[in-house]
Amino acid sequence: MIPFEIDLKNKVVVITGAGGIICNTFAKAISRTGAKLALLDINQEAVLELEKEINELGGTSKAYKCNVLSSESLKNIHQAVLNDLGPCNILINGAGGNNPKATTDDEYFDKNNLNEVKTFYDLDEEGIRFVFDLNFMGTLLPTQIFSKDMLGKKGCSVINISSMNAYTPLTKIPAYSAAKAGISNFTQWLAVYFKNENIRCNAIAPGFFVTKQNQKMLFNEQGEATDRTKKILNNTPMNRFGEIDELIGTLFYLLSEQASSFVTGIVIPVDGGFSAYSGV
């Protein structure tokens, strides 16, 4: 569903993490604006399928297998995008995610459970490092590579994907929460840094949406809501999870130079009121 139309004809939009559910949806929506899409993901099969779907519907896209944690991989893909589609006008940094090795089983420390559950003291160093790298470095490195195409041009922007975790950390996922807080901070830093180049840098902070990454945490094997889901919905004034399509309006607003030409350095929550509710 497209909430309103914008014209991105002949602009090149690079999307990292395009194989994931959020950026897959973003790519399909943007493909209807006339933009040329570079679909980047470590999962080549996922973006090849997305490329096929978009192009069959009359869009223009090209899939690339890319490791956002490798400058060499990004440089190679950057050159390929230049050859295939042209220089990047808009970068959407959608690569990110969590890892079970960086997640605790308990919400609150209980010394009586030390041998029964995975606590803060059992978090895996490599798992934590992976989460920080994937989210933060996986945003910084693509921006280093692709923003060079935007220098000296008009109508260019970077859109990062933050999270409600960046405002108030959720229990169990300390590394992911901290990494997303870093994304929000980095977005503001970029906006100031690129002020002389008129490259707008903003972020979207989704609230709670059901994805492959969190589905097992939100629902049991019978498809019933877990206790964590009940807590989330009780603290979301709209009392439901968001639909991925409900992010498109905010995305298009930030993409549109006509609509948001004086907007940079902001992080927009799309959360059903979660950030506004104190729990009382």
Q: At the topology level of CATH, where does 12-207+243-269 sit?
A: Rossmann fold (3.40.50)
Q: What is the pTM of this model?
A: 0.95
Residue 26: closest CA among 2, 8, 48: 2
The tens-digit pLDDT sequence of the chain (280 residues) is 788 899 999 999 999 999 999 999 999 999 999 999 999 999 999 999 999 999 999 999 999 999 999 999 999 999 999 999 999 999 999 999 999 999 999 999 998 888 889 999 999 999 999 999 999 999 999 999 999 999 999 999 999 999 999 999 999 999 999 999 999 999 999 999 999 999 999 999 999 998 776 776 777 877 787 888 899 999 999 999 999 999 999 999 999 999 999 999 999 999 999 999 988 8
**Domain spans, the chain:** 12-207+243-269, 211-241
Q: Give CA–CA dist 272/91, Å, rounded.
A: 26
State the pLDDT at residue 145: 98
C-beta separation of 66 from 83 below 8 A:
no
Distances (CA, A) of 106 to 1, 116, 117, 121, 223: 39, 10, 7, 11, 22
Helices (H) and strands (E) in the chain, counts: 10, 7
- What's the CA gap between 144 and 165, in Å, rounded? 25
Q: What is the pLDDT of residue 15?
A: 98
| Nearest in space to 150 (alpha carbons), one of 223, 200, 114 | 200
What pLDDT is stored for residue 22 in this prediction? 95
| pLDDT of res. 106 | 92
Active site residues: 176
